[in-house]
Structure 1
Amino acid sequence: MATQASRRLATQIVRQSTRRLLPSPAICRPCSLRARSLHTSASRPALPDSKPQSPTRVPNAPKTARVAPVAWIVGGGLAASLLAVSQLHENGVPEEEASPSVDDRDPSVPRFRLADVRKHDASSPEPWVTFEDKVYNITEWVAAHPGGDVILRAAGASIEPYWDIFTIHKAAHVREILQQYQIGFIDIVDLGADGRPAVDSIEDPFVDDPVRDPRLITHTAKPRNAEPPNDQLDRSFHTPNELFYIRHHMWVPVVEEAKADEYALTVELPDGETKRYTLGELRARFPTHKVTAVLQCSGNRRNDMTRHAGKTNGLQWGVGAISNAEWEGVRLSDVLADAGLKVAPVSSTQTGAAETSSNDDEPYPKSLHVQFTGLEAYGASIPLPKALDPTGDVLLAFGMNGQTLPRDHGFPLRAVVPGNVAARSVKWLNKIVISDEESPSQWQRRDYKSFGPNEGPNPDWDRAPSIQEMPVTSAITGVWVGDCVRRGGVPWLGSPSTSPSTASSRTIDMAAVPQKIGFTPKNLTSATSPETPCPTSTPAEPIALQGYAYSGGGRAITRVDVSLDGGATWDQAELVREDSPSHGNKSWAWQRWRYTGTLPILSLPTTTISPVSAALPDCEGSSYLGVIKKHCTTLIVKATDESYNTQPESHKGIYNVRGNLATAWHRVKICPRCTGQNGSAASNTKGLTWSTGETYGCGFRKEAEEVREGMKTAAASSSSI
């Protein structure tokens, strides 16, 4: 047995030898390291030179890692080794020093202890966060990050718990942005067996969010992003407040309704002078105006672009990231004039964006921007000329559709910028700054831009202008075929013999609600008698369509073209003349349209489909094997505005990775299907039904027949194993 002296000797030798073998971890000097990126560029200084650390040994790992050296030194075999290791702990050697491991991460990158990271919390002038095993200096990112206030909550610790809640930001393109700010790795001493530090639980910032209408189709719950189903989207000229689409980047701020009049807005002028207005003062001091205007997300119909062109980053909106409302508030131009803003008069000779007048106190409007900031740290801006245009109708709104502004839509105060992308209509508005540059926020400088189809996920963001006025777009939101048209099932055609409830039950519902793979209800069969076999082709079936069209910049929609045969022939839809007044100086509202026609004759599949025992449900709960040949037609809509702008034919030509401005022709494929004698042997009904694509959001992800074929292929493969 080893003597006490030999134990001490072994301990000392091990300590000395391991100190020589193991380099000391890089320890940060709190608050002394500036924000730097591992990816050096002209805009960011490179990391300071540091001595490469040996990738072979760094602190922290299984305690058995030093058994072999101890055994060799002591010469007493396993027993002596275990005794020596035990003695190391008894003599106060830190566990991490007694537990080496292999650190195969880049040895040129500094290591930081978590204790030092914690010193860079939200109160630090240089906040840091960790993600996985990396350390980031987010000093420069806080002001521009989508959710700067959120990321500050994580300062000094891990950002992962917040991204677990804010799942919308837990995406590859967001991590790529964060990667630019990496300054080092977490010291391996502070990493667990999974290679990551322990993560603390956090308070859910969404606990006070309002309750939403269950009819909304939710894309993300935290933050809530949701659109109305197609059958509700444009049912009325004004979208009901509870069904107006929701686009949030963070939680909904809490403002007490009883204290709403005390809510303050700060206006800062170019010279730094500020003026403060309470909501009560805005109501009392300035004339109130109403404006009927669409708000539309730049990602509306992004799912269409994904399906028809390629993968896109962002929420996969259908056709419902757009809504129309009557807004009430005070004009931004009136408030800016009262705050003391003075600019040079606009003239035709002003061609440059950076021109200034002879009076330094009166810059040209074209050289300035209006920066909006909301309570939740969201920021965006518009050019000052848009704000000052007497026909621009930019409001500081506190009312919506005759009611107090709902919490989800900016209570108690928001900006409404008609004709522009909704990203500029900042909710929960609490600060306005007149500046010689755009808002520095991520949403202004990067997120809401568009690039060429070839430019990939990392374009030169500074080269492209921020999206402001929206291009022309349109969409089909409702389709009725066959008997539901003949029998008065189309709500806006009506029938004396058909009650509203019956008509509604016959509507082909293309909304993303729980349904069997996109097929229309059973009572949508054609007029073919149940005793009559399916024909070889479809009869001249009547069809009715409805939808919306819209163009930004206040440009009115003058024509909506509809095709029932994939674009081979065209006809014009009826533009709905609204009973409700449309307030404002330009055409800021959407244009609803309707169309009735006759479908082209389509051949029908005559091959008998045999039922099988495998669970492959069709619209009637039966099961089949085999492939149904497609005999479909594609419905198309495209719109033209008063400037003769029209929609591009294909999303491929306007593809961009962010999926912004997906405004190509909207296409909906519909397919006839036989039931009965020449169709499903499992059905006693002989006739014709129609199917639409499987719906996702309010768009079409895959055609129903493709889904069916995929199910059959998968079943056939599994049965052959």
Structure 2
Amino acid sequence: MSLKNILLRTINQKNKYINLAATAVKINQEQYNYREQNRQYRKTVATALFSSVLIGTVLAEKSKNESKGKDKNKDDNICEAGERRPDLPTYRAEEVSKHDSVESFWVIYKNGVYDVTSFLPSHPGGDQIMNAGGLSIEPFWNVYGMHKTKDICALLESYRIGNLHEDDMMDHSGDELWVKEPSRDKRLIVKTSKPFNAEIPAKLQVEHFDTPNELFYVRQHMPVPELDSSQHRVRVTIENGETVTREFSLQQLDMFPRTQVRAALMCAGNRRSEMNEQVKPVKGISWQGGAISNAVWEGVLLVDVLRACGVDNTDVAGKHVIFTGSDIDATGVNFSTSIPLEQALNPSNRILLATHMNGAVLPPDHGHPLRAVVPGAPAVRSVKWLESITISKDESSSHWHQKDYRSFNASKTWETADFATAPPIYSLPVTSAICDPANGDTVVAKNGVVEIRGYAYSGGGAKILRVDISPDCGETWVQAEEMQTDDAPPQQHYSWTLWTARIPVRKEQKEIELWAKATDSNFNTQPEKFDDIWNIRGLLSNAYHRIKVQIKH
């Protein structure tokens, strides 16, 4: 080998080690900062973890030694926890579920109910145990099989307080998919737990213009995937005669200009419960008004990435952008949906490949480490855990695109609905809701008026012009005086509007029914009733919002 080649190899190796060293220094610094912030707690956990490993090693060696000469089919280390005990009281699952905080933490294992509150600081797995609060630990133990030893089961039994009611016994086979779900804020109103879907309480919606990340409503279709941001890649594939694919790491995406977009994301089924109650049953999660939240999203514009990959913005007719996420259903199919290519290439639509939300990296529930954000469209188009983008002459072939989030008239039934010919929903109509007070509340009249607060929103970049409140079933209307909104112009306005109205009431008045409607910059106004916009999936449920409250003078 020539001296030149030797020198070049030496320099390359040196640079490689310098980069590795820099990475190691960064990682060590981050670990140090984290340890310092959590030093006392981690000291306890580390001690417990060391003890657990030590005990496990000893027990394994002991079991190995004792098993010599015994029947090889006999296992003396089988977990025997969770057998029903007649000497203990019986609890319903509903009662157990209330004990899910560090002040009172109960769990279920088979037939047993356990108060493990005092054990929490010593749990070797750290705060992972918090995901099991008030629930069964069987799915977790099925994944982390090291728990199933006599000694650990004996430890669990030492915390035994009762039995689970026989009617509440469940088959937890298959639950292993859900054991690594992220922790969630207890203030969220859970609609389904597997997959996790939860809305923000109405009164908390109007407390913050940009919804705190922990309170942002959650819509999942499958378990939340665990992804490493340093290893994550997004593939961009162009199908145009021959297939061309380009791949980007998050670091490589940073070569594009970064930007921010303030946008509300709303599920197309928001306020579905009202349509269901006021007309007739529909199929879908029974969202009230809390399947909408507002945030500042940060990332790079999709149009910049597509142009860099050679997408021709003059050849868009009939083409689509398919977004595919890393979340997978039980059959191994990834979540996917699509939007028209023309929509994706319009710079005014401000579609992002986002890495940050309200100044922080995306939380796991909201797409960490990368998601599409399609402002003004149903939130289903803002695919989370984004792993591929495909330019195709075909729409996404997934169930979620072909058999859902499509528009039908009020006469269509499940038997007569033709999903193949129904148009996909790519934008959202104007809507509003009263958040405070809630229906049935008692409100105090001050100086002859009651104050009400709420939100209003319209899709497609339209801005809210006005919110009107009727205190007398549409006879008269009072316009909201205070409107908190983003300063983006119409056609590029993607955030919600928070509003406040003051409604005069008579001294003798004991009850009032309030109606709310909004008008957007396209002069579209909410319809009065749900009857004519009813549909089998309960989508786009945007009739007047109505509540009744009691008045205290």
Normalising TM by the smaller chain, what interval? 0.5 to 0.7
Residue in structure 1 matching 2:468, options 552, 561, 571: 561
SS at match of 1:204: helix
User: What CA distance in whole angstroms lies between the structure 2 residues aligned with 1:552 and 1:659?
Assistant: 18
SS at match of 1:275: strand
SS at match of 1:366: coil
Residue in structure 1 matching 2:494, options 574, 577, 588: 588
Residue 218 of structure 1 corresponds to 190
Residue in structure 1 matching 2:238, options 269, 279, 302: 269
Q: Kindly tell me: are residues 664 and 243 of structure 1, through their superposed partners in 2, closer, same or farther at Cα, counting changes over 3 Å?
A: same
Structure 2 residue ranges without an equivalent (≥5): 1-138, 140-170, 328-333
Name the structure where strand makes up a greater proportion of residues: 2
CA contact (8 A) 1:269 1:434 kept: yes
Q: 1:463 Cα shift?
A: 1.9
Residue 387 of structure 1 corresponds to 344
Q: Does 1:477 align with 2:435?
A: yes
Residue 467 of structure 1 corresponds to 425
User: Over alpha carbons, which structure has the higher Rg?
Assistant: 1
Amino acid at match of 1:476: I
Amino acid at match of 2:246: K
User: What CA distance in whole angstroms lies between the structure 1 residues aligned with 2:394 and 2:262?
Assistant: 29
Deviations 1:647-698 (A, max 9, x none): 11100010011100000000011245xxxxxxxxxxxxxxx58xxxxxxxxx
User: What CA distance in whole angstroms lies between the structure 1 residues aligned with 2:185 and 2:534?
Assistant: 33
Q: Any residues of structure 2 matched to 1:503-652 within 5 Å, and which?
A: 518-520=440-442, 541-578=448-485, 586-600=492-506, 632-652=511-531
Q: 1:601 Cα shift?
A: 6.2
User: What CA distance in whole angstroms lies between the structure 1 residues aligned with 2:468 and 2:378?
Assistant: 24
Deviations 1:4-42 (A, max 9, x none): xxxxxxxxxxxxxxxxxxxxxxxxxxxxxxxxxxxxxxx
User: What CA distance in whole angstroms lies between the structure 2 residues aligned with 1:650 and 1:295?
Assistant: 24
Q: 1:338 Cα shift?
A: 1.3
Q: Kindly tell me: are residues 583 and 224 of structure 1, through their superposed partners in 2, closer, same or farther at Cα, counting changes over 3 Å?
A: farther
Residue 374 of structure 1 corresponds to 325
TM-score by length of 1: 0.50
Q: Kindly tell me: are residues 274 and 584 of structure 1, through their superposed partners in 2, closer, same or farther at Cα, counting changes over 3 Å?
A: farther
CA contact (8 A) 2:444 2:450 kept: no
Deviations 1:54-88 (A, max 9, x none): xxxxxxxxxxxxxxxxxxxxxxxxxxxxxxxxxxx
User: What CA distance in whole angstroms lies between the structure 1 residues aligned with 2:237 and 2:256?
Assistant: 19
SS at match of 1:576: strand
Q: Any residues of structure 2 matched to 1:309-458 within 5 Å, and which?
A: 309-344=279-314, 364-376=315-327, 377-458=334-415
CA contact (8 A) 1:291 1:582 kept: no
User: What CA distance in whole angstroms lies between the structure 2 residues aligned with 1:671 and 1:316?
Assistant: 26
User: What CA distance in whole angstroms lies between the structure 2 residues aligned with 1:343 and 1:388?
Assistant: 7
Q: Kindly tell me: are residues 592 and 602 of structure 1, through their superposed partners in 2, closer, same or farther at Cα, counting changes over 3 Å?
A: same
SS at match of 1:299: coil
Q: Any residues of structure 2 matched to 1:50-129 within 5 Å, and which?
A: none
CA contact (8 A) 1:368 1:435 kept: yes
User: What CA distance in whole angstroms lies between the structure 1 residues aligned with 2:318 and 2:434?
Assistant: 41
Q: 1:599 Cα shift?
A: 2.1
User: What CA distance in whole angstroms lies between the structure 1 residues aligned with 2:175 and 2:484?
Assistant: 50
Structure 1 residue ranges without an equivalent (≥5): 1-161, 163-198, 345-363, 480-508, 511-517, 528-539, 605-631, 673-687, 690-721
User: What CA distance in whole angstroms lies between the structure 1 residues aligned with 2:278 and 2:172?
Assistant: 43
Q: 1:204 Cα shift?
A: 1.8
CA contact (8 A) 1:564 1:600 kept: no
TM-score by length of 2: 0.65
CA contact (8 A) 2:462 2:490 kept: no
User: What CA distance in whole angstroms lies between the structure 1 residues aligned with 2:337 and 2:360?
Assistant: 26
Residue 670 of structure 1 corresponds to 549
User: What CA distance in whole angstroms lies between the structure 2 residues aligned with 1:395 and 1:667?
Assistant: 35
CA contact (8 A) 2:463 2:491 kept: no
Q: 1:202 Cα shift?
A: 3.0
User: What CA distance in whole angstroms lies between the structure 2 residues aligned with 1:253 and 1:575?
Assistant: 41
CA contact (8 A) 2:463 2:490 kept: no
SS at match of 2:312: coil
CA contact (8 A) 1:474 1:639 kept: yes
Q: Kindly tell me: are residues 203 and 573 of structure 1, through their superposed partners in 2, closer, same or farther at Cα, counting changes over 3 Å?
A: closer
Q: Kindly tell me: are residues 208 and 581 of structure 1, through their superposed partners in 2, closer, same or farther at Cα, counting changes over 3 Å?
A: farther
Residue in structure 1 matching 2:208, options 228, 236, 259: 236
Amino acid at match of 2:298: E
Q: Percent identity?
A: 43
SS at match of 2:179: coil
Q: 1:596 Cα shift?
A: 0.7
Q: Does 1:308 align with 2:263?
A: no
Runs of 4+ in 1 over 4 A off after TM superposition: 524-527, 580-585, 600-604
Q: 1:341 Cα shift?
A: 1.5
Q: Kindly tell me: are residues 264 and 603 of structure 1, through their superposed partners in 2, closer, same or farther at Cα, counting changes over 3 Å?
A: closer
Name the structure where helix makes up a greater proportion of residues: 2
Q: 1:437 Cα shift?
A: 1.5
CA contact (8 A) 1:415 1:425 kept: yes
Q: 1:342 Cα shift?
A: 2.0
Q: 1:294 Cα shift?
A: 0.8
SS at match of 1:334: helix
CA contact (8 A) 1:380 1:439 kept: yes
Amino acid at match of 1:478: D
Q: 1:633 Cα shift?
A: 3.0
SS at match of 2:347: coil
User: What CA distance in whole angstroms lies between the structure 1 residues aligned with 2:489 and 2:246?
Assistant: 30
Q: Kindly tell me: are residues 577 and 231 of structure 1, through their superposed partners in 2, closer, same or farther at Cα, counting changes over 3 Å?
A: closer
SS at match of 1:336: helix
Q: 1:262 Cα shift?
A: 2.5
User: What CA distance in whole angstroms lies between the structure 2 residues aligned with 1:525 and 1:431?
Assistant: 53
SS at match of 1:325: strand
SS at match of 2:176: coil
Q: Does 1:253 align with 2:210?
A: no
Amino acid at match of 2:224: V
SS at match of 1:592: strand
Residue 87 of structure 2 corresponds to none
User: What CA distance in whole angstroms lies between the structure 2 residues aligned with 1:286 and 1:568?
Assistant: 54
Amino acid at match of 1:305: M
Amino acid at match of 2:253: L
